[in-house]
Amino acid sequence: MSQPSILWWQKYGTVGQIAQAVVAALGFVAILMQINVLGKNAHEAGARQIYQAYNDLEFRNPQYAKPDFERLKAGPANDVVQYESFVSYFLYACEEAVGAFHSRREWQATCDYDLKGHLPFLCEKAVAEPVYLTTYSGATRRWIDSEMQRLGVSAPDCKVRKT
């Protein structure tokens, strides 16, 4: 006597059980996608807040936003310390904004535009304290280096030579 043939779905369960497993798997995939979207939205919102706080700092400190670095160095030492903190916050804000909006070139262009005025300070700081720039991400260091090269900023005088 031959045994009755068993269909593949009978081995693994009824059609209802299989459908339930497929729906559960699709639901799990949808949850993972939702988590990814929520994480991306949170990253973008955080970057916007950080950059907005930088804009507020820029508005309250125009002497640092468009610096006369030679004048800052000639003034009280506290001014240079405050300016260093300003530049640090600027770099952090750009790092976050460009990271969150990497496909939107206008964020990078905005940061490039603002960085130009701070390059003499960053050049001098890198010469005086080489470890300073290592506190930033590799992407930020590469960005600073490429802008220094593009604008002809180099030691020992650290002046912007190109426009």
Asked whether residue 28 is assigned to any structural domain, the reply reads no
Is residue 54 situated within a structural domain? yes
Q: Which residues of the chain have pLDDT under 70?
A: 1-4, 8-13
Among 61, 48, 65, smallest CA distance to 116 is for: 65
Structural domain includes residue 10 = no
In angstroms, how far is CA 108 from the centroid of its own chain?
Answer: 10
The reported pLDDT for the residue numbered 52 is 94
Classify residue 9: in a domain, yes or no: no
Task: Examine residue 157 and state whether it is found in any structural domain, yes or no.
Answer: no
pLDDT digits (tens, 9 = 90+) for 126-149: 999 999 999 999 999 999 999 999
Residue 1 maps to a domain? no
133 occurs within a structural domain:
yes
State the residue range of the domain holding 113.
47-151
Cis status, amide bond into 156, omega within 30 of 0? yes
- pLDDT confidence of residue 45: 86
Write down how long the chain is. Answer: 163
Q: Is residue 29 part of a domain?
A: no
- How many domains are there within the chain? 1
